[in-house]
Amino acid sequence: MDVYLVGGAVRDELLGRPVSERDWVVVGATVEEMLAAGYRQVGRDFPVFLHPETGDEYALARTERKTGPGHQGFEVHADPSVTLEEDLVRRDLTINAMARSGAGELIDPFGGQADLQARVLRHVSDAFAEDPLRVFRVARFAATLPEFVPAAQTCTLMRQMAAEGVLAELSAERVWAELTKAISGRAPVRFVEVLRDLDALTPWLVEFESRDPHPPAAGLDPKQSFAAYVSTLDPESIAAMARRLKAPKAHARLAGWVVRHRSHWWDWRQADAGELVRALEEVQAFRPDSRLDETLAVCGSLGGLALEALARAVETVQASVQVEALAARGLEGPALGEALTDARRKKLAELSAQAIPDSE
């Protein structure tokens, strides 16, 4: 058997980028030989194995034939007769269809190295059209490798795919995965820009037809980055997109809080104290599981503002207004809740009028 390093690891090595994971193709081997060598097979119908020591993925060289819709609608053929080039031709882009032998030889049958140098995202073959997710992958590569441009022929093919409606065949989980990778890229807005140029925002990201996303600031975690990215949309649009993509509920909730309440945070000294308290209570600011810090982190990044003074004011309110003291006056139920909100409102109004510096 012959083993080759393939795909993104070869690409990133040639670009001088860190290689985070390595995938391998095995030519001339059978499933039985892989198992006998100690590899663990992943899945029943897919010839992919985990190395017994490194955990890297080793796949038998294979060919695929489209037999139905969706990413599972393929007939996979893997046996020792399948060549490395037959395996590589099924890949999406030329820059991902290179391999390196154990002796260090670069195998590049489709011009991937030339496209790397020209900074071009070009499809390998017409088999590209068999997996609609590749439209989103190209857009994601444009976001993570912003110096690269999709080839004209590849754009033509992707527009045709979008026009045929095949993007609707995708699962929400696969589209969400590409979106989250793009958001962490160096030029995340390009993901939407490329898809818009291809008329490929339907059906998954229609909310961005007329609005650009907001590039997340450095230092935000994935949930906060998503909230920043969709902050140019209204709350209803964010909720609709999140449901369609089956986004984690925490992501959708934080994004909704940011859009609904950022004006409260930015102008908290001038905001109506009652509205401000209700906004703070919605993000659980006065509870042990407060979500205020992560909300302020996103809002502060969008406006370039320091919101430490608001955070300190909330801490002061929390220390000054004790539910136990109000309950000791015989208040309970809705009356206790109303009294607690009112006491917080008065304390915040008092603090907002004081000359508390907005940053240390």
Topology at the third CATH level for domain 1-120: Beta Polymerase; domain 2 (3.30.460)
Indicate whether 254 pLDDT > 90: yes
Share of the chain above pLDDT 70, in %: 94
Check if the beta carbon of residue 92 is closer than 8 Å to that of residue 134.
Answer: yes
Answer with the residue of higher pLDDT: 9 or 44. Answer: 9
pLDDT tens for residues 174-223? 999 999 999 999 999 999 999 999 999 999 999 999 999 999 999 999 99
Q: How far is CA 105 from CA 6, 10, 99, 108, in A?
A: 12, 11, 8, 10
pLDDT tens for residues 123-144? 999 999 999 999 999 999 999 9
CA 102 to CA 27: how far, in whole Å?
12
CATH 3.30.460.10 domain locations along the chain = 1-120
pLDDT tens for residues 109-127? 999 999 999 999 999 999 9
Task: Please give the pLDDT value at position 360.
Answer: 45
Q: Is the pTM of this model over 0.95?
A: no
CATH 1.10.110.30 domain locations along the chain = 132-211
Task: Please give the pLDDT value at position 209.
Answer: 96
Q: Is 38 exposed, middle or buried (0-12, 13-18, 19+ CB in 10 A)?
A: exposed
pLDDT tens for residues 38-63? 999 986 777 899 999 999 999 999 88
Topology at the third CATH level for domain 132-211: Hydrophobic Seed Protein (1.10.110)
Mean pLDDT score of the chain, rounded to an integer? 91
Indicate whether 10 pLDDT > 70: yes
- Could you count the other beta carbons within 10 Å of the beta carbon of residue 347? 20
Q: How far is CA 326 from CA 276, 333, 342, in A?
A: 21, 11, 11
- Could you count the other beta carbons within 10 Å of the beta carbon of residue 360? 7
